[in-house]
Amino acid sequence: MTTVTLAFGRQTLADRIFSRRLATDIVLIASGAALTAIAAQIVVPLWPVPMTLQTFAVLLVGTTLGPLRGVLSMGLYLAVGVLGLPVFAEAKSGSLFALTSGGFIIGFILAAALVGWLAQREWDRKVVGTLVSFLAGTVVIYAVGLPWLYVSLSNLGSGVWHDYLGFDSVLSATVGAGIVPFLIGDLLKALLAAALLPLAWRGVSRLSADKE
């Protein structure tokens, strides 16, 4: 008898803990969105991009759930925020176009797909693989978020990026406010994941062996 599931391909960490069933998948997807929403509220209130634990949650969800369920989880997070639930950073909600950081939220979906795909190829079972995977996912988030931020700052005018933020150009404001403050934190998040995920895999594998 075939079990209906949203998971496909090789197993991820979630599949080693929970059976692949549609009901389980739905719970995992909703839990991933909830975790991201909670992490978004652990915030250092910077502007135009707040500093949160969101990216760590996004990449963790994508890695543990795999590409499809990771994408669906981040899509659910985006959808409930747009529909009005205060799940974005600093309890914000509504249209992404009203947020200078809206592009980063779209980037979450693509990043979850990438790290989930890499996890199915066992990158998250080794320290170096996990580190590279999380850094690659972070680059994807920046690749979507930074152009969005550039356009947003351009539209707001020089009174914002020059007078308020103190940069000489929109490009320097985008880099200075959208990348530089986050580099150390992003590296620390990737290092934390590189320490925890391979350890989690070893623990799960050991428990499975004990049950046999």
Q: Which residue has the tokens 């933020």?
A: 165
Exposed / middle / buried, residue 211 (Cβ in 10 Å: 0-12, 13-18, 19+): exposed
| pTM of the entire predicted model | 0.95
Q: What is the pLDDT along the chain (212 residues), one digit of tens a residue?
A: 457 898 888 999 999 999 899 999 999 999 999 999 999 999 999 999 999 999 999 999 999 999 999 999 999 999 999 999 999 999 999 999 999 999 999 999 999 999 999 999 999 999 999 999 999 999 999 999 999 999 999 999 999 999 999 999 999 999 999 999 999 999 999 999 999 999 999 999 888 765 55
Cβ proximity of 65 and 14 under 8 Å: yes
Q: Which CATH class is domain 13-204?
A: mainly alpha
Tell me how far apart the alpha carbons of residues 40 and 204 are, in angstroms, rounded to a whole number: 28
Taking the domains of the chain in order of start, what are their residue ranges? 13-204
Tell me how far apart the alpha carbons of residues 31 and 181 are, in angstroms, rounded to a whole number: 29
